[in-house]
Structure 1
Amino acid sequence: MDSEALPSEIQTLLRYTLRAPPVSSSAGTPLHLTDKDGFAPEGDKRFKKLIDGIHFSQKFILSYQLVLIGVLLALTAIHWGSRLRAWRRRRNTIKGKYEGDKTSIGKAAEGKGAVITESISRGSSSSSSTLQEDFHPKYQDSERTLDEGSLLLPKASDAKKPPRKWTTSNKIRAWLVYQPPPIPLVNKTLPSNGTTIVVLAFLGLQIFYTFFKTSLLLSMIFVFADRTSLVFVANLPLLYLFAAKNQPIKLLTGYSYESLNIFHRRLGEVMCLLALLHSAGMIGVWYTVLQPAGITLIRFLLIKMILLGIGAFLAYEMLYFTSLGSFRQRWYELFLGIHVVLQVAALVLVWFHHRRSRWYVGVALAIFLIDRLVYRISVKTKTVRASLDVQQDKKTVVLRAPVPAQEKHKWVKSMVGAGITTGWKATEHVFLTVPSLAPKHIIQAHPFTIASKAPTAHEKEANLELIIRAQDGFSADLVRYAQCHDTASIRLDGPYGSQAAVEMLQDSDRAVIVAGGSGIAVAWPLVWSVIDRAAMQDLEHSTSPANRKNILFVWIIRERSHISWLGGEALEELRARGVTLATSAPTSEYGHPNIAKIIEEWVNGTDDQASDRGKIGVVASGPDGMNRAVRNICSSLLREGRDVSVEVEKFGW
């Protein structure tokens, strides 16, 4: 800007740039058009670069939405293309098994009436446990007694290892699956390398749209401040879309909101930084232009538009600080309440701060209200009576609720969503509210994974179970309440969740499911979904027991009493279905088992029952350390040439 510009001209310029007309009409604005004070910014050469920069930013930011739509379409094509290939693969596999069974039956009929029988209790490999009072397995190669410090599975003596395939593709996949150790000193858990690459690419997109053709000269600082505000408001709909429990991204790409939580958090951090840069830029405008013209900082800050901007800035910065992991873990209930109030307040302030932001704010507000009011309150919520059962450790409550079942067409459920009365699927979760605990809990909703088997289509009443471990706040209040009350009225909002893990295991030849502690709430219905799907295929196509899917189910428990969460009978039933069942000795007494070696030995031991090209699906749900160990053994198996896919079920990072 020209330092010789008159203060009245500067104020007119700020009014012009802050209230710039739509891009479509600016090109045709006559240069002689003047402000009410007689000043025409468009026709003044002193401000031409500034005006051109602002107009370019307004046009350039429109391409950001096109890029997002393009990425969404690409992910949609990838997801549905993979689902189509998986369907064809299952169809061909079932067809091959069916034809093979007919051949074997025909050969048996040629014999002298021989009858071949095989017990279903024979698993794919010998099951074992380090809990001696539960299981006493024997092995064909030797009779081996396990103590609490031994491995869950013995090393297979004659296992056939597939030949190593050191291909570039395997190396890249292995590196993408690998999860590095936590950051030293701060002990910050990192995601897998693949997730990190995607997040960095997303952050790079934000940097590109912030700095592309933006001058950092002091004379052009207003253009930079304007660009940061445009990138900020352009991201508002995406921020609220990532956070919404009910949104179309899951239907299109298969990614549910909890899978997108890491992008919601990183985008929120970027937007807070953009708000800070915008505020700093506007202070820079005052310091370099308005202060020399005699306008004090107080006078500048008391302008209505600036005051509204300050309020929006403070609201989003408070959202960031109250969303930090340390704050959420310590004051989770406070975080829930503040998050909703600050979101609404921030959107209202941005709406009145600048009219150019109103289209983006309107879309974001619509996403927020439709998710909260239309779906979560009107469609997804159901109130039922539940029993409360305090477990032996006195720190865990198993909540059981009979849910009346209602039939709903699959396509309707997929398109518009449905509540808990239409059933749920493995790995899905609900938001639980127990109003009778205390007045503050009436408006609080806490997420818990459904620990019971998914109901079948013909059940008139489904049994829903939640395993709730006492931490503090809501969960601690619930445990204390359950010690004095057998039942409670509860409100369920859901179900929610992605089926990526279920689909991956069902598409695999061998399945590995690892649970740590209360991660059993994810693993238990998941293993049953795999068993039920395999049993249905066996029934429909008469496949022999030798063709059944090999399944390894590992449960790492902290206390011996945690077995009571499921009960010994339930575990025995699982083993009777042909699952290789392994439970650890209590880690509080004997330390953590070598989960990587357990998986590797089981995979080697089943290589003689699966072809080299057989796909292995692995799902882990538990503490960060266990999840990382599972990821990294899968990375090692990929480097060896095996076809391995891994999913970790947890909320965010």
Structure 2
Amino acid sequence: MPSPTLTDVLNVVPSKIVAAAAKTPDPDRTRRVALAHNNPIRAWYCVAAFIALIALFRFLALAYRTIRPRSPKALRPRGAISFYRLPSALTNSFRALAFRTMVPIGSSYAINVTEVFLTAAYATLIYTWSLAHTTSLKGVKYDPKYFANMAGNVASAQLSLVAALGTKNNIISFLTGVSFEKLNYLHRMIARVLCVLIWVHAAGRLKLKLKAGSSLEHPWVRCGILASTSLTLLCILSIRPLRNRNYEVFLVIHFLAVFITLLAGFFHARGNLREYYIWPAFIIWGLDRAIRVVRIVIYNAGLFKKNSTQQLGRVDVLSPHFVRITVARPPLMHWAPGQSAYLTVPSASASPFEAHPFTISTIDVPQILPATNAEKDAESRNGSSSNLTFLVRVRSGFTKRLLDAATKEQSMKVILDGPYSSPPRLKGFQTVVLIAVLTKFALKGGSGVAFTLPLLLDSIHRAKINKSDSTRVIFIWAVRDARHVEWISDALLPAITDAPSNIHLDIRVNVTAPVADDQSWDDDTTEGDEEVKVEGGSAGAKAVKYPGITIEQGRPDLRRFVDDEIAQSSGAISFNVCGTPSLANSVRSALRSPRFLDVLRGGPTVTLHVESYGSDKVFRASHSDGKDPTGRALIQIADSGENSIILFPGANHSPLHEKTWASRGSDLAFPECSHLLLQNEIHLESTLYALENARNATTIYNPSPMPSSSQIKSFPWDRVDWLIVNEGEAEDLYNALSESHGRRGASPAVSRSHRELLSILSAQPAFATTNIICTLGKDGVLAFIPAFHRPRTAHEAPSFMHFPAATLQGTIRDTTGAGDCFAGYFVQGLMEFGPHARVGREIREHDVAKVLKTCVQVSFIEICLFVLGSFA
């Protein structure tokens, strides 16, 4: 009898055995589900722990400032190293390296080391928890069955963090003390990191095929694609150049894209029972809006009363470029000096939801001087807390509409929302430095002084009630016109007059526009604008002549000022800056040195707070009125490859367009710049105008084509920092300048070596401090830098830098563009060292050598485009 088979024993057929085996549980499934559930939580633990650590440091610092004695310690001069000051030295060094060392991102933007670290750390954290432990039990690394769902869960869980960082009323700002404006960088950065992670999730799902329960037939899958696409488009459109083109349009796009992303993401997550990752973002967003609505209702109660004038504001036109808004203070509103509020003006706003932030230039204390009946009429412009005052820069859009409305009616309804931002706490500093710059060339921003003025008023007030540690306050405001002081004189003059003796005030106003400028930027006769009379006249004149205010011509030398202030101080110093990124970078550069040993010896610790508006950009402006002919240039090329250019003047030799733009009310009359490159292909008057107005800028001049002998003799060579010439131009300059001093230049027949020519040219009084670079064609470049090469005694011979050019094979057909290429790369090389870097200090000899080597190489690459052959 045959033995029984497995089929007989189990009473099943083989096909049923196969079916039973197919239903065996996937051994990876339990592990995948656990990781997909736990890793998003672990990522949040890391983020929450970091926020808690920052909050702990902040509250410990606040507690220390609160309990320590108010009376400043006796200051001692710098002496031997004291390790008692080691914590201060370490803290000061950390601030210098982490917050003042900038890393360029492209050619128009830079972030500090802290932002770089946070970006890298967050991306590493998120991708680690999304891709860690993704090797299956079968040994498949980065198994999409693991990372696909895990990446989606981690990204979804982090959306509430993005929402929190993007709201104005958020708990992260409350805990860390970092204002929502500065958190906005993290808001954008995290959104972009998660956008990439979401596409990692999508790639994993595509790898596994969209079939069965995850096919495109299911609405929740299509919602996921919609959410991913919407977030991707938003990340692209939020790139700074696109965002700045029309910020008001971007706000509408941002709102719609975020709403689509969250709503579609919610339904997508709901398809996997993960909707609890998404709905907290809605709660955070809604809570922020609810808080703002409640605050608006409380602070603007007069809007809900019929015929009420409680919320009527006054808009005073200070100039065609500035207005001042004054609003009665809501009874329950309190703010810190330097905070801002969002304003909605129905008469000028394009929509009921359009609101713009402006700094409150008054302080939340009783009036600085006891008000008399005569003074009550001026309360709208002084430092009293009974009113809120805003200095508003007129640009396009809302501010332009506000100016137009103010010329017709000064009283209009104003809706307040605020206060916002986290201004610096100036308690505990022996010296407080406040720097503001009013520049005419910025994409956005205001006067700068709207931020620094309340800090000054608050410092004076706290000194009066004996609650200030500061013994010295320095207030610097750079303006285009001394009459701008009139805008703040009603608040500034009483404060200076009533300042107590226990605080020393140093008020400086730097006037950056030329004194002889026949058409001031704020001249009210601006073409195209209606005549607007500036109010008050006597107050401004009084402020300019007031003994407590020092009026100086020209831009402040901030680097020298910072160095001198640190050298003569031993207590803590707080630098507070408001202006363009160029100003902020200039101060950061001056404070970048860690000064570790100096602090150990008793030197001051330094903090820096920056309120920067606008962005670092390269601006290009073109103008044509249709009347000027287009110029022509004929380039004649010799057999040697050298060229001669004949110019037929056109629009580039027309009357000065800078003043034409200014007369039309444009802000592009002349850009505020750190480096100015000039060539002699424009009208000489334009070149001289640029040299006169480019205060504190590094100037580079290439006199090609060569000016006439009379123009050379009268040219302001002392304003040129770097002179770029070829050997022929150097000879012409020497001959012309020698004649102007009663000496005749050498005959053209006299042969000089390149070094001899550069030596006698650099000896001319006009070039006593000028750095001269002589391009020698195929012989390379020769440079004379006075800081490094000027002989110290009459017996020494001058030294030079010489960098030979590469040897070219083939015939040189054309050198056109080589000089322009050299000059462009040279300026770019100088800009690497900062906006106001000086030769012999920030720029060393080896730095110049490195830049020149690069310039020689790239200019000869330009020549190679016209050469038959290649480098040897």
Q: TM-score, normalised by structure 2?
A: 0.54
**Is the CA contact 1:90–1:507 (under 8 Å) kept in the aligned structure 2?**
no
Aligned pair partner of 1:339 in 242, 254, 257: 254
Of 104, 115, 133, 1:213 maps to: 133
Alignment of 1:67-466 (within 5 A): 67-91=46-70, 93=71, 169=90, 171-180=93-102, 182-184=104-106, 186-191=107-112, 193-215=113-135, 220-286=143-209, 300-355=215-270, 356-372=273-289, 374-381=290-297, 382-383=299-300, 384-392=311-319, 394-406=320-332, 422-437=333-348, 440-456=350-366, 462-466=386-390
Q: How far did residue 328 of structure 1 move?
A: 2.6
1:498 to 377, 401, 422: 422
Structure 2: segments with no counterpart, 5+ residues: 1-17, 301-310, 372-383, 439-446, 518-552, 616-872
Q: Deviations over 1:96-129 (max 9, x none)?
A: 79xx9xxxxxxxxxxxxxxxxxxxxxxxxxxxxx
Distance in 1 between the 2:352 and 2:491 partners?
Answer: 37
Residue-by-residue CA offset, 1:443-472 (whole Å, 9 max, x unaligned): 111111112223449999721111111222
**Cα separation, 2, equivalents of 1:386 and 1:162:** 56
| 2:36 equivalent among 51, 57, 65 | 57
Partners of 1:403 and 1:523 in 2: CA distance: 20
1:447 aligned partner, one-letter code: P
* Residue 264 (structure 1) shift: 0.9
The structure-2 alpha-carbon separation of the partners of 1:177 and 1:366, relative to structure 1 and needing over 3 Å to count, comes to: closer
Deviation at 1:315, TM superposition (A): 2.0
Matches within 5 A, 1:530-545: 530-537=459-466
Root mean square deviation, CA, Å: 3.5
Counterpart CA distance in 2 for 1:480 and 1:369 is 35
Q: What secondary structure sits across from 1:506 in the alignment?
A: coil
User: Is the 1:350–1:357 Cα contact (8 Å) retained in structure 2?
Assistant: no
Change (3 A) 1:380 1:236: same
Instruction: Supply the distance in 2 between the matched residues of 1:402 and 1:42 (Cα, whole angstroms).
Output: 77
SS of the aligned residue for 1:443 comes to coil
Structure 2 Cα separation of the partners of residues 228 and 492 of structure 1: 42
Shift in Å, 1:179? 2.7
Match of 2:474 in 1: 552
**Structure 2: which amino acid aligns with 1:492?**
L
State the Cα deviation string for residues 34-83 of structure 1 (Å, max 9, x = none).
Answer: xxxx99999545x4335533431212222222223322322222111111
- Spell out the pairing of 1:474-493 with structure 2 (5 A cutoff): 474-493=398-417
Structure 2: how far apart are the matches of 1:378 and 1:209?
Answer: 39
8 Å CA contact 2:65, 2:427 repeated in 1 = no
Q: Tell me, yes or no, if the aligned pair for 1:261 and 1:651 is still in contact at 8 Å.
A: no
Cα distance per residue 1:403-440 (max 9 Å; x no partner): 2323xxxxxxxxxxxxxxx22111211111112225x3
Q: How far off is 1:401 after superposition? A: 0.9
Which residue number in structure 2 is paired with residue 621 of structure 1? 578
Cα distance in 1 for partners of 2:111, 2:554 equals 24
Question: Residue 560 of structure 1: CA displacement?
Answer: 4.5
* Structure 1 range deviating more: 358-367 or 451-460: 451-460
Q: Which structure's residues are more often helix, by fraction?
A: 1
Instruction: Say whether the 8 Å CA contact 1:388–1:487 is kept in structure 2.
Output: yes
Give the match for residue 648 of structure 1. 610
Q: CA deviation at 1:173?
A: 4.1
2: CA distance, partners of 1:349 / 1:42:
36
Are the counterparts in 2 of residues 386 and 488 from structure 1 also a CA contact under 8 Å? yes
Answer yes or no: is the 8 Å Cα contact 2:584–2:610 preserved in 1: yes
Q: 1:533 Cα shift? A: 1.6
3-state SS, counterpart of residue 494 of structure 1: strand
Q: Distance in 2 between matches of 1:510 and 1:42?
A: 78
8 Å CA contact 1:380, 1:495 repeated in 2? no
| Matching residue of 2:662 | none
Normalising by structure 1, report the TM-score. Answer: 0.70
For residues 652 and 64 of structure 1, the distance between their equivalents in structure 2, rounded to whole angstroms, comes to 35
Q: Which residue of 2 aligns with 1:593?
A: 556
In structure 2, how many angstroms separate the alpha carbons of the residues matched to 1:475 and 1:650? 19
Cα deviation for residue 233 of structure 1 reads 0.9
What SS class does the counterpart of residue 258 from structure 1 fall into? helix
Partner secondary structure for residue 180 of structure 2: coil
Distance 2:397 2:21 in 1: 58
- Report the AA paired with residue 72 of structure 1: I
Distance 1:41 1:280 in 2: 31
Shift in CA distance, 49/521, structure 1 to aligned 2, threshold 3 Å: same
SS at match of 1:423: coil
Structure 1 residue ranges without an equivalent (≥5):
1-37, 101-158, 407-421, 540-546
The CA deviation at 1:324 is: 2.4
How has the CA–CA distance of structure 1 residues 65 and 183 changed in structure 2, closer, same or farther, with 3 Å as cutoff?
Answer: closer
User: Do the aligned partners of 2:335 and 2:364 also contact (CA within 8 Å) in 1?
Assistant: yes
Measured in 2, the distance between the counterparts of 1:76 and 1:523 equals: 27
Q: Distance in 2 between matches of 1:88 and 1:72?
A: 24
Question: Does 2:588 correspond to 1:631?
Answer: yes
Does the 8 Å contact 1:385/1:489 carry over to 2? yes
- Indicate the SS of the match to 1:190: strand
Alignment partners' CA distance in 1, 2:614 and 2:276: 30
Is the Cα–Cα contact under 8 Å of residues 430 and 472 in structure 2 kept in the other structure? yes
Residues 552 and 165 (structure 1 numbering): CA distance in 2 closer, same or farther, change over 3 Å?
farther
Cross-structure match for 2:800 = none
- Matched residue SS, 1:425: coil
* Larger RCO: 1 or 2 (CA < 8 Å, sep 6+): 1
Residues 170-179 or 272-281, more deviating: 170-179
In the alignment, residue 580 of structure 2 is paired with which amino acid?
A: P
Contact 1:431 1:445 in 2 (8 A): yes
Contact preservation (8 Å) 2:429, 2:470: no
Q: Any idea what SS the aligned residue of 2:507 has? A: strand
Partner of 1:20: none
Deviations along 1:124-174, one digit per CA (max 9) or x if unpaired, are xxxxxxxxxxxxxxxxxxxxxxxxxxxxxxxxxxx9777788978354443
SS in 2 for 1:391: strand
Shift of 1:340: 2.2
- Indicate conservation of the 8 Å contact 1:453/1:524, yes or no: no
Amino acid at match of 2:184: N
Identity rate, percent: 23
Question: What is the deviation of 1:246?
Answer: 1.5
* Structure 1 residue 467 corresponds to structure 2 residue 391: yes
